[in-house]
Amino acid sequence: MILVVDIGNTRIKSAVFENNNLVELFVFDADELQKNILFILKKYFKIDVLVAVSVGNIGLDAFLFLEKIVKMEWITQESLFPFVNQYATPSTLGIDRMILASGAVLQFPKQNRLVIDAGTCITYDFIDAADHYIGGAISLGLRLRYKALNNFTAKLPLLETKYPDHYIGASTSEALHSGAVNGLLFEIEGFLSRYEADYSKFIIILTGGDADFLAKRLKNTIFANSNFLLESLNFTYQYKIKND
């Protein structure tokens, strides 16, 4: 069994895998890391390796207490990946985007792939059929759009995410929902249209915390999986041990 851990800025997502099947998913705050990891290891005592990646402020030092309990594998930008990185500034490519690209290559071989991660930010990552990571885009995530409208104006309220009833908002709250949600949907559809103009065929993978929320309203045929990063972390580790 394998425990994979995705460390964000405020939350940690982890999952137990057995034979590449996700057995159980865990989500908890970063300040509860030690307690929850020990709980998972006790519950699933057959876990023999912990695979972790961090895009937040928590590093390898936070896991040193596990040295004598379980084998540790820390995935970094220097780890082995199944694609050629053609990003103009490869050292600045986020490790989370690299893992998503890795998962796309390993799970959808010999295809053009576009991975859209709808989290705090929206990231777009394109990997061609020859397994070349080409690049993508970074944009404001759905919740950031609501917060920006509130933070940088004097009177606009901070609202909870909601599907707008109509694209024409008949009140301030309706207008905010339309601008935030429809604005993001139009952005994604616009990007997809541009990719379709240049690539006749490609698979679209939508993941992240808002994946399910957005997938219901997108017109394009997509593969939506909110746990794709955790699965990709597991597949990346499997690729590493097979090719070391």
CB 82 within 8 A of CB 239: yes
Q: Beta 2-7 vs 49-54: how paired, if at all?
A: parallel
Q: Is 96 a catalytic residue?
A: yes
**Strand order, beta sheet including 113-118:** 84-85, 132-140, 121-127, 113-118, 203-207, 223-224
Q: Which amino acid appears at position 141 of this protein? A: G
The residues near 201 (Cβ < 8 Å, ≥ 6 apart) are 111, 112
96, 125, 131, 210: the catalytic one is: 96
The residues near 108 (Cβ < 8 Å, ≥ 6 apart) are 203, 205
Distance CA 128, CA 2 (A): 29
- Apex CA 61: angle with CA 59 and CA 64, to 5°? 130
* Nearest of 109, 96, 85 to residue 203 by alpha carbon: 109
Active site residues: 96
